[in-house]
Chain A
Amino acid sequence: ETGVTQTPRHLVMGMTNKKSLKCEQHLGHNAMYWYKQSAKKPLELMFVYSLEERVENNSVPSRFSPECPNSSHLFLHLHTLQPEDSALYLCASSQDPSGSYEQYFGPGTRLTVT
């Protein structure tokens, strides 16, 4: 257990559905991250939050909408996704977003878009 939990672990959704991924960290960290991991591609950083404020958004399509209501919780709201969005979505947290500290990852949500 890394102290970072993600739900659901698996999700199958149609292109017209709306769903949300949830992440919770129990480590008292100030930074949280969403990553996308597709087959045969490097891990892609999607969003970074520091103390509930978004500090980085790496040109992610608007069909992905993050929300950070407090420093322990992070959501990724999904709507009108495409089949190429099928991937493993990983949440992580760290002491701060500077890159100077290790990141702790959740187990991921395996998303399949049909």
Chain B
Amino acid sequence: SQQGEEDPQALSIQEGENATMNCSYKTSINNLQWYRQNSGRGLVHLILIRSNEREKHSGRLRVTLDTSKKSSSLLITASRAADTASYFCATDNYGQNFVFGPGTRLSVLP
């Protein structure tokens, strides 16, 4: 069964704006990861946040995790055209399975 579910499915913003994507999941997790995929290419790992963490930063990326709401958000600040890609969350429920969500397609317009 699908675990992570990203929202929105597609997002279009202007360069310089912030982009926020959300991920909801159903069962308890050990960690949650965010990945980026440029069109037709492999996925690139962005951030891993563990269940006992609430927030992590990496450059222009900020990830939050709310285990009580079973949700996570990925914020990209000061977006650039190069940020145009699909973004996926993936959840690990203690080794039971590792499941990717359907993704959010982000378009950053120059």
Interface residues of A (CB under 8 A from B): 2, 4, 6, 41-43, 45, 56, 88, 90, 92, 97-108, 110
Number of A-B contacts (CB under 8 A): 57
Q: A42 vs B102: C-alpha distance in the bound complex, in angstroms?
A: 4
Q: Given A42-B2, A42-B102 in contact, is the A100-B43 Cβ separation under 8 Å?
A: no
Q: A83 vs B66: C-alpha distance in the bound complex, in angstroms?
A: 41
Q: Given A42-B103, A100-B31 in contact, is the A4-B98 Cβ separation under 8 Å?
A: no
Q: Given A99-B92, A100-B31 in contact, is the A42-B100 Cβ separation under 8 Å?
A: yes
Q: Given A42-B2, A42-B103, A43-B88 in contact, is the A99-B40 Cβ separation under 8 Å?
A: no
* B44 sits at the interface (CB 8 A): yes
- Which chain B residues in 1-52 approach chain A with CB under 8 Å? 2, 30-31, 33, 35, 40-45, 48
Instruction: Report A15 CB to chain B, min CB distance, Å.
Output: 23
Q: A88 vs B93: C-alpha distance in the bound complex, in angstroms?
A: 26
Are B92 and A107 in contact, with the CB atoms below 8 A? Answer: no
Q: Which residues of B contact A100 (CB under 8 A)?
A: 30-31, 92, 95
Are A42 and B98 in contact, with the CB atoms below 8 A? Answer: no
Closest to A110 in B: B40
